[in-house]
Amino acid sequence: MTETEEKTGPPVTLIDPIDMTKLDANFRRDISSMPNGEELSACFACSTCTAACPIANQWNYKPHQLIRMILLGMRDEVLSSKEIWECLTCFQCQERCPQNVRVTDIFFDCKNLAAEEGYVPENIIALAKSLVEKGQLYEIINDWEREDLGLEPEVPGLSIEGIQSILKGTRTHKLVEGDE
């Protein structure tokens, strides 16, 4: 019989340990108290939402992991994650959840909190700026695109002033102006 070497040190893990001092006990309550968060604590991490998500394989944090992170109080990690902004809002996760956790709606709530706390990606700010300044998200840069479709070179009836007036008191306008 041969002797085996005794290993010393911590065991090898596949994920980084959670720093308990950074957890926010109120985060779970904040999300649960929102109209879409009522079933949040019913999640048992079955991963059905992740299996249904068409882009989960592109994400660092999968939908079931984000829900678990909310339950643990990992506020900064969730609100600063790119995943909540990249959600396609296809509602596949929410439709399939056996516990009726409103996953997509919870991600919307997270985006609202993220915006309030200043965690908005630059590309989202650029979209908001385009909407506020130009009245549209997609700017036609080639007249031939409209011409090929038999349309006028300019979008008829597009009232930038009307859109700007509507957006004036919204978070979108405040985001562009740097007030949030």
Could you tell me if 55 and 131 lie in one domain? Answer: no
Residues 45, 88 within the same domain: yes
154 within a domain of the structure (yes/no): yes
pLDDT band at 157 (very low <50, low <70, confident <90, very high): low
Same domain, 141 and 72: no
Classify residue 2: in a domain, yes or no: no
Q: Which position has the higher pLDDT, 171 or 108?
A: 108
**Residue 25: other Cβ atoms inside 10 A:** 9
Contact 50, 56 (CB under 8 A): yes
Q: What is the pLDDT of residues 58-94, one digit of tens each?
A: 999 999 999 999 999 999 999 999 999 999 999 999 9
Helix-then-strand count for the chain, H and E: 11, 0
- Burial grade of 40 (CB within 10 A; 0-12, 13-18, 19 or more): buried
Backbone dihedral angles phi then psi of residue 110, each to the nearest 5 degrees: -65, -40
Residues 79, 34 within the same domain: yes
User: Exposed (0-12), middle (13-18) or buried (19+): which is 124, by Cβ within 10 Å?
Assistant: middle
Residues 114 and 84 sit within 8 Å (Cβ to Cβ): yes
Mean pLDDT of 19-36: 92
**Is the pLDDT score of 127 beyond 60?**
yes
Same domain? 78 vs 35: yes
The parent domain of residue 156 ranges over 122-177
Instruction: For residues 61 and 50, give the distance between their C-alpha atoms in angstroms, rounded to a whole number.
Output: 10
**Closest alpha carbon to 160 in 168, 170, 169:** 168
